[in-house]
Amino acid sequence: MRFPLSWEVNMAKHNELGKKGEQLAVDYLITKGYTIVKRNYRFQKAEVDIIARLKGTLAIIEVKTRSTLDFGNPQDFVKPKQIQRLVKAVDEYVIVNKLDVEVRFDIIAIVKQDKGFNIEHLEDAFYHF
């Protein structure tokens, strides 16, 4: 199936914005004292954007980047099925690496504003269930 060129250009811009958002999130976390352990960890159908450590806590960071708030807040786009997949992936990561740490699930919501970005870090955004 072939898509119009405009669709391909928009997807490329969307992917670029997502990568830019993840890098902004990493930079932000480092300034807050986090150590980045892993980026884009994959397990089955899940991808964990950032695994970071702050003292004895393993922070699992889902990054949501948007160019506008027209369709809602970025954090509203983390759906229950995605949360289930993330939890399963992180359980696997902790078991395989024999970690004994507290695990916390965060969202970093990033919205492009004028020539910059607004970054909001939501700690304990969702829970292991």
Q: Tell me how far apart the alpha carbons of residues 78 and 114 are, in angstroms, rounded to a whole number.
A: 25
Structural domains of the chain ordered from first start: 5-126 (3.40.1350.10)
Q: Name residues whose C-beta falls within 8 Å of residue 83's C-beta, 6 or more positions apart in sequence.
A: 105, 126
- Whether the model clears a pTM of 0.75, i.e. scores above it, the answer is yes
Segment 10-68, tens digit of pLDDT: 444 556 777 888 999 999 999 999 999 999 999 998 999 999 999 989 999 999 888 77
Element (H, E) at 43: strand 35-43
